[in-house]
Chain A
Amino acid sequence: RKEVEQDPGPFNVPEGATVAFNCTYSNSASQSFFWYRQDCRKEPKLLMSVYSSGNEDGRFTAQLNRASQYISLLIRDSKLSDSATYLCVVNRGSSNTGKLIFGQGTTLQVKP
């Protein structure tokens, strides 16, 4: 079983739609969680951290469910520019380690 699992998609949605991505992780000791965005043939970039209480950044909302070891990302009012691959990222272990494990990513295509 992979440490971080995501539905690869692709998710094809019209502009203005709301779309949600899910991610599960296997290491219950993980303490830190993040979403990264990767555009086609580009490097990954940090989109947002995921906090236990849930957090928002504009049209993006991230949530964490520790009991189910599940992370989600909600994008409201999708824009064409949101088209990308979204990577769920978890730190391996409970300590302040630098070891971040990436999921394979969920591809989003927003259509006009």
Chain B
Amino acid sequence: DAGVIQSPRHEVTEMGQEVTLRCKPISGHDYLFWYRQTMMRGLELLIYFNNNVPIDDSGMPEDRFSAKMPNASFSTLKIQPSEPRDSAVYFCASSLGSSGTTGELFFGEGSRLTVL
């Protein structure tokens, strides 16, 4: 079975450019999460969706970040305009039912973003 699929795997862009990261969760999973990982801050939860509805976006750093989930099989995380401090690995994860009790998030391989 296909796992969580993210694209692009690597992106190098210049400051000020728009970046769009994409995620296809595992079919049938009803929760989708976006995390960001850096050496300094570790894995930070940015936003998560339940049944395509954003539940908590308190981790989104600022208005430059936005996330959408137009349907159950697709989500995007957009950064506009991008800044060098946004350089990180962005992970998408999905889960079936609430991960609060099962703990099992299935992560994609991540999108490594470098903003010059």
- Interface residues of A, Cβ cutoff 8 Å to B: 31-34, 42-46, 49, 87, 89, 91, 93, 95-105
In the complex where A87-B43, A99-B45, A99-B56 touch, is A43 in contact with B101 (Cβ < 8 A)?
no
Residue contact B107 to A45, C-beta cutoff 8 Å:
yes
CA distance A100 to B100 in the complex (A): 7
Residue contact A98 to B110, C-beta cutoff 8 Å:
no
Contacts of A96 in B (CB 8 A): 98, 100-101
Residue contact B42 to A32, C-beta cutoff 8 Å:
no
**24 A–B pairs (Cβ distance < 8 Å), ordered by A:** A31-B101, A43-B91, A44-B105, A46-B103, A46-B104, A49-B102, A49-B103, A87-B42, A87-B43, A89-B103, A91-B103, A96-B100, A96-B101, A98-B48, A98-B50, A98-B55, A98-B98, A98-B100, A99-B45, A99-B48, A99-B100, A100-B33, A100-B100, A102-B42
